[in-house]
Structure formats: C-alpha cells, structure tokens
Amino acid sequence: MTAQRVGRKRMGTEKAGCGPLIPPLSESGRPLRQQIFERVRAAGSMPRVQVARELAISPASVTTLTSELIDLGLLEETTAGGGDGGRGRPAVALGVRADAHHVAGIKLSDREHTAVIVDFAGNLLADVAVPRRPGPLELAAIVESTETLLAEVCAKAGVDRAALTAVGLGVPGFVDSQSGVVHWSPILSAREVPLGQAVAARIGLTVHVDNDANLVTLAELWFGAGRRLSDFAVVTIEHGVGMGLVLNHRIYRGAQGLGMELGHTKVQLDGALCRCGQRGCLEAYVADYALAREATTALNWGGREAQPMNQLLESLYDHAKAGNGAARSIFHRAGRYLALGLANVINLFDPELIILSGERMRYDYLYANETLAEMRAMALNTGQPTPKIEIHAWGDLLWAHGAAALALAQVTENILGATRDLAA
C-alpha cells in the first residue's frame, strides 16, 4: 500500500454544495427542517421529491417544511435544468439562499494568520494570509491581531463586519470548544485564556473557538475528501501534531472537548521534552521543532538558532535528499514514531480513511513506504486491509476554511436545531 498524494486545490470549488453528504434514510435525531436544509446545502440543489425520498417523509410534509425554510430566507427555489416531462417548463429545485448569512473563519498560528469569508452556501468570497513573527503573545495582542485580520478580509470581500453572523476561530493547543477557553496554546503566553469571550467582546460578534486539528477535519468533512465518509481521521503535522476524528458524519471532541490529542499521547517514558511541558509525547519526535532539535545535535547546527524554522527544515530536507546520512536518519526516526502513532489510531478507531495533512507533509520521508510498512506491522493483523492513507499538503487557508465550517454549523444549529417541526 502506498499513500495517495493529493495536490493543492482551492477548497469548495470542485463540487456543488458543502457539508457532509449523509446517505439517504440515515437515522438522525435532528429536527426535520434542519435535516432538509443540510441535505439541500450538501447537494447544492435538490428537488422536493428527492428530499421526500431520501428522508422517507411525505411530499406534503416536505412542501410544508420547505415553505417555512423559504419564509425564513434560508432556502429559495432554483431552476434545476431540463423540462417537467412534456410541457417544457424548467424543473424546480431547492437551493440555499447564499446571502442569508455570511461568516468568517480565522486560523491563528505561530507563523501565519489566515482568514476567509464564506456565504451561507459555503462559497468563498475572500481570503487573506498575514505572516507574523513566531513566539507566544499576550491575549491583548492576539485579540488585536484577530480584529485587524477580520477587518482586512471583510474589506476584501466587500462585506461589512456588522453583517457577519458569526466567526469561527482556530488555535493550536488544548481548547474547550464549548466555553471558548484555551487551556494551553503555543501562541499564547498564558494558560486558561478566555479567548472566545475576549475576541467576541472586541469585535461585537458571536465567536466559536476550536482546536486547529478539529478545524482541518471540519474542512475535509465540509469541503474535501471526507464529505461522503461516515468515519475518518485526520492527522496534522505542522508546528505540532494534531488529530481530528469523524464518527457517523460528525466530528468527535470527547466529553470535555479535549479529546483526540494524538500529538500528546506518550510514545517514550521519560522521553524528549514536548512544548506542552511533558516528556515523551509523539509531537516531541515528529513536529518541526523536534526535527530542528535533532538537526542541531546530529549536524552540529548549534549556530542556527536565529534562523527561521522553515529555512532550517528546508535545509535539513535538502541535506537528506542529497544523501546526508545524519539528515536522513532524522527523518527516518520521525517516520518511525509517526508510524507508531498511526498504528495506534488504526487499532483504536478503525477509520475508513486516514488523511495526513499539513505543511510538513511536503517532506515525503514522513510517509515513505517504509513508514507505512511499519504502520501496517504495528496495526492489528485482522486479515483485513489497513485504512487508505491520503496526503493533503494544503496551506494554512485550509484551516481557515475549517473555521468557517465551524461557524456555518453553529449558525445552522442555532437557527434550526432547537426548533420543533410543525409537520411530520
């Protein structure tokens, strides 16, 4: 088995619609109006008769509920193309009213902040990326950077900030998505930071905060390879190592919203120091700072501390490609630890697909054939094939798209999730 590598592409432009493509007749406890709306949004457009068939409800119920959604300004009638079987009139379908709501998605990271504006149908209106100097920041500085970034992307999209319904915000670290509190993040100088509340107070909008690995998983679920899959995992390798998990078309966060911290599972007792403060974490052997730390020792690069991380890693990669044994051994060792982490994911969750995502996936030593062979060897031998592996070397805008998906999901839930259906 070899990993399938997927090149860069613009999210949301390959298929009409956005959001999970859930099979017909799937069980769901959500209100029917919400199910109808989300099914139409995922498909891009859908005739009423197909909605009734996929949800196994009467055409009369569909007519009543879709009329309510049209009255709420969330759906509209569109021309589906073709005739109606004899009279030549265009067939009528339902589509999302794209201008009903606009949301922003923002990803804050150690080296670059990114943002996007999307409409209610998931169409991208504008995106921006702003580099920054690495290092942790005070809360006030992060809030100011967020406001500045939001102003820039709104101006580019031609959307007034006050017209936004919500903002999705992603940061690396341990995040309580319910409260918006960041328990720890490498981009924040303090712990237990009420980031969501602070940003919301500054910009005057509803803010939803999540771990950045969950956001890249949401991006795959809403716009990418995971739209048709019920169960898949995303492992991100950037400045750290993260993981997101989708079960039954929904992202899984754990009881306290802090689950799936693959990068901080222990692979070595009393091992290398991780930036979280503990020792032996997977991240401490695979992340960029781990590779740089190894290079400083193995290649005697002690004088390169002031060199930007990206330049140092590119230099390390070039040395490995040129045949430098020490450089090759650094990537090989990191690949072995990554194989261990992936095998644990397979043994625990048995996902249909594992997506390896992030800028560091440009370094093919991390997913070379020997790495995948070790992963298979450490996974349980059940006689069944191991999950498919795909490599998605997206840039940081993918994470911002995930933040926008978070905002879209929350806005939809707030509008439709708590309502009672008037028809059945």
Place of tokens 């009279």: 87
pLDDT grade for 9, boundaries at 50, 70 and 90: very low
**Edge-to-edge strand ranges of the sheet holding 102-107:** 124-131, 112-119, 102-107, 164-171, 206-211
User: Which one-letter amino acid corresponds to residue 2?
Assistant: T
Confidence (pLDDT) at 256: 79
What is the rounded average pLDDT of the residues 149-168?
97
Asked whether the beta carbons of 401 and 365 are under 8 A apart, the reply is no
Lowest mean pLDDT among 99-103, 151-155, 413-417: 413-417
Q: What is the pLDDT of residue 403?
A: 96
Q: Which residue has the higher pLDDT, 292 or 14?
A: 292
297's enclosing H/E stretch is: helix 288-298
For the chain, how big is the Rg over CA atoms in Å?
23
Report whether pLDDT(269) > 50.
yes
Query: To 10 degrees, the CA torsion angle through 63, 65, 67, 73?
Result: -150
Residue 23 Cα distances to 26, 35, 124, 234, 374, angstroms: 6, 12, 26, 21, 35
- pLDDT (average), residues 39-68: 94
Q: Is the pLDDT of residue 40 over 60?
A: yes
Average pLDDT over residues 306-322: 83
Q: Is residue 420 pLDDT above 60, yes or no?
A: no
d(CA 133, CA 327): 27
Which of 193-197, 364-368, 387-391, 416-420 is most confident? Answer: 193-197
Relative to beta strand 388-392, strand 353-357 is parallel
pLDDT surpassing 80 at residue 4: no
**Model pTM score:** 0.87
- pLDDT for res 2: 47
Q: According to the 3-state scheme, what is the secondary structure of 178-242? A: CCCEEEECCCECCCCECHHHHHHHHHCCEEEEEEHHHHHHHHHHHHCCCCCCCCEEEEEECCCEE
Q: Dihedral of CA 258/238/219/353: which sign?
A: negative
pLDDT of residue 398: 86
Core vs surface per residue 131-151: b (16+ CB within 10 A) or e:
ebeeeebebeebbebbeebbe
| Whether 369 contacts 321, CB under 8 Å | no
Q: ∠47-29-346 over CA atoms, to 5°?
A: 100
Q: What does the pLDDT read at residue 352?
A: 94
The Cα 183–Cα 190 span in angstroms is 9
Q: Which residue has the tokens 């996936």?
A: 361
Q: What is the mean pLDDT of residues 27-50?
A: 90
- Report the pLDDT value the prediction gives residue 10, as an integer from 0 to 100: 42
Q: How far apart are CA 345 and CA 378, in angstroms?
A: 11
Query: Are 409 and 417 within 8 A, CB to CB?
Result: no
The pLDDT of residue 357: 86
What one-letter code names the amino acid at 343? A
Asked whether the predicted pLDDT for residue 363 surpasses 70, the reply is yes
- Ranking 116-130, 225-239, 383-397 by mean pLDDT, the lowest is 383-397
pLDDT digits (tens, 9 = 90+) for 74-130: 999 987 654 454 455 667 899 999 999 999 999 999 888 999 999 999 999 999 999
- What is the predicted pLDDT for the residue at 364? 77
Give the H or E element holding residue 175. Answer: strand 174-176
pLDDT for residue 7 = 44
Alpha-carbon span 1 to 9, nearest angstrom: 24
Average pLDDT over residues 165-173: 96
Mean pLDDT confidence for 368-387: 89
Q: How many CB atoms lie within 10 A of CB 295?
A: 21
**What pLDDT does residue 39 have?**
94
- For all residues of the chain together, what is the average pLDDT? 88
- The tens digit of pLDDT for each residue in 277-307 reads 899 999 999 988 898 888 888 787 766 666 7
Among candidate residues 110, 19, 104, the one with its CA nearest the CA of residue 358: 110
Distance (Å, whole) CA 184 – CA 192: 6
| pLDDT score recorded for residue 14 | 41
Q: For residue 200, what pLDDT is reported? A: 98
**414/86: higher pLDDT:** 414
Look at residue 422 in the predicted model and tell me its pLDDT: 42
Lowest mean pLDDT among 14-18, 182-186, 249-253: 14-18
Question: Phi, psi (5° rounding) for residue 51?
Answer: -60, -45
Higher pLDDT, 191 or 11: 191
